Structure 1
């Protein structure tokens, strides 16, 4: 993956996290609503969208893909420090780069955000986000949290 591609994936992953928090949706629901072609378009536009606020791009994506409010609120009742949407976006982009076969990065993004690990990472009242990224990656690959 090139440096530009890394930046684009980081941006899109952070945007997905931002949208999910704002609309109270599971991250997988956001990815499903946007779809594979939409993800590809977001990646294509990422370099230009970097110049815009996350709020503006988020509003445009929510409107265009008709993303409705959900009830997956992982922030309001959180007792602990919440990682930023950028921190979470970085984690997802690293997992994609580590797990994806060359040329299959978009599908890996969809797979990761749609997997059990995404909801587990979003449980900010646990310490899962703060675990070693390798632990998260191998748990994802194994399909369950490792003992």
Structure 2
């Protein structure tokens, strides 16, 4: 993966996290609404969209893909410091780079965001986000949190 591709994945993962927080949805729901082709379009446009605010791009994506308001609020009930959407986007982009076969990164993005690990990461009342990324990746690959 080139440095530009890394930045594009970081941007798109951060955008997905941002949209999910704004619309109070599971991250998997956001990815399902956008779909494979939409994810590929967002990755293609990422270099240009970097220049725009996350708010603007979020509004455009929500409108284009008809993303509805949900009830999965991971922020307001959190008792601890919430990692920024950029911090979470970075975690996802690292997971994609580490777990994806070459040329299948967009597909891996969808798999990760629609897997159980996404809701686990989004539970900011746990310390999962702060765990070693290798532990999170191994748990994702095993399909459950490892003891």
**Deviation of the 1:107 alpha carbon:** 0.5
- Other-structure match for 2:126: 126
**Deviation of the 1:69 alpha carbon:** 0.3
Q: Does residue 17 of the first structure (1) align with residue 17 of the second (2)?
A: yes
- Other-structure match for 2:66: 66
- Other-structure match for 2:30: 30
Partner-residue secondary structure (3-state), 2:32: helix
Supply the RMSD in Å over aligned alpha carbons. 0.3
Gaps (5+ residues) in structure 2? none
- Other-structure match for 1:107: 107
**Deviation of the 1:133 alpha carbon:** 0.4
**Deviation of the 1:111 alpha carbon:** 0.1
4+ runs deviating over 4 angstroms: none
TM superposition score normalised by structure 1:
1.00
Q: Deviations over 1:81-118 (max 9, x none)?
A: 00000000000000000000000001000000000000
- Other-structure match for 1:93: 93
- Other-structure match for 2:140: 140
C-alpha distance in structure 2 between counterparts of 1:12 and 1:6, whole Å: 10
Q: Deviations over 1:31-51 (max 9, x none)?
A: 000000000000000000000
Partner-residue secondary structure (3-state), 2:9: helix
C-alpha distance in structure 2 between counterparts of 1:83 and 1:50, whole Å: 20
Q: How many residue pairs end up in the alignment?
A: 147
C-alpha distance in structure 2 between counterparts of 1:124 and 1:102, whole Å: 31
Gaps (5+ residues) in structure 1? none
